[in-house]
Structure 1
């Protein structure tokens, strides 16, 4: 998986900060690290890899204390950085006893599972998991990871500019366009900052129409941009992008909208993740300004349902070659139980989407988290196949197609060319 996607997934839980629980190195004990017990022996310790920023210290400490008291097995938590994690996990899963439980980005499960690196967790399949998150944890009907948390984008807006314009927070696409027109007519602000290649956003509009980037045809996948549904979604994206002066040939990270654009220009609204909102606030305050942002879910076609959003997040898995799959599974089961999943969401301040339907998030009123959670039920995922990583590799054909369409090229020609490239890439191993 590319770094950009992993960043979008992994740092959504930005409020947690870096975790520093357990040991970050070797303990010097033969039965520590990856469990070391092997077979049916009880290990002295298991090793859990958690990504930086994904879990609060206090939650991990309390959870591991409870686990150790119940099972007499120590838990060594090793904090991992997203940068380079794909290669590190690939290596670890090919070795005996390196790691027992590991956090992985939700679109990574299929790749690691199909290479035999992850243990089958079928005994946990009957838990009340979030249905959309569960899709990313399964491969051909078998469960190879379980959901940990989810996160998605929302609209971030400058309250002062919207008040100056007399614009109202929208609940439908039509009201959204009306609000942007009002801002354009009554202020000198850019109504919305929307780069031409924010393809996760465009994918949500396509999903609103019943479309997708690619669909499965028999045993293979095929690009699906040259369809009425994808075209309708892209047309709405184009309608929004006409209110923006953002470049048509870059994405939200070039330049980084949260710290390079929003703090330096008069931007009335933009679409981003929670960590981006936090970054923009910090950058504005560093310049001596004051940020007063409001947040709302990306509007849908009707007020009955918000627009679809890419549902990022993480899963928890057990390594097939873990030192102790038995106790790794016991830890994972405890960590994702109703009791501890609820404690996790509470510890995160409601800033993540719960992994289970019997867990509730109660984010602060008016917060980004509140807007994010409102859209959780209409999350979408890209095609869950190992070949999807090939599609994301630069030059990403979806990005190129978007720029062509926004520049006025023939839609069918641009989409057909992109579909051919998507089909070729997605079916590679």
Structure 2
């Protein structure tokens, strides 16, 4: 075994640089924790606002029906008027009980689930911040002791890597280990499938959006279709909201909506939906915020359908704002410009941070560790791009690997696989490490 004294001579440690790196990472962890705590408060406000809107609608319906009864009461007895009003009120209250209360409970479950995930992340932030602080104090007291410098450097490297992973800046480059191919066409499909969106549930089940056949399909862990749900317009994209719930972007010339779907005992169940005043093409979610693109704009919505703001706009062409994705910490947004083959990286407020150009840009996904995956419909290629959105890290697959008109790409943490949705009804599954 090599003595520590020899290692210290061959691997000098820059304590000043190490201290600065620790302080930088600590600042990032603290900012993440503050943003997550703000997200919890925002979620609670959203639920209360949604409940208030539902109550307001109830009162409005009651007043409207009372007015109708009063206006139609001419020539009738007070007894008949009272009975008619009572029946109207009971009818409205029953509708409220059967539909609105169920919707509120469903949204409450969403909020609880997201809040639990955020709270868990906050605990990780607190623990890591404490570890980093202790290491920083040790490093600042080491002085010229080379053995202790090396030990501290090794320990710091491990903790810093944990922190960078939590911040979505791990920098790990995927390596493909194998490939499988599966067909997701079902007997009721009338035309060839186009898999324009993919979403993986925590248990490993996969949902795919087939925009040409107007349906969403549920695949088991063997990638077999076990359930499907038809929608009322073209479904373009899908994102995870809660462990068993997704949101789907649905769009035609006169229908622009976000539809929620629940996975219940291996079946897809349609849930609530809300309408938009603009095109609804692609969608992603982060801690209670929905990000929706329209082809030329990127919008931010709350879970109850309230428009928060327009974050970005480019009207220079028809498809300047395509797929969207968000970093694990929510501090960076990524969008693809299909007309100019660009990947744009935006700050939380929509400020442009970086631009990367490549013919392989189209489909887009960000993993829980912050790796950015893109695929090109015309280039037949799947790439990994750096988390800063400035350069390509590696080519993961090409046409030689079976990639053919890839619409969408997604990473499954459960199986350590990259799933590629294509035209023609086939999905490719690349095992990676």
Give TM-score, length-normalised by structure 1: 0.24
Pick the structure with more helix per residue. 1
Compare relative contact order (CA 8 Å, sep 6+) and give the higher one, 1 or 2: 1
Normalized per residue, the structure richer in strand is 2
Structure 2-normalised TM-score? 0.24
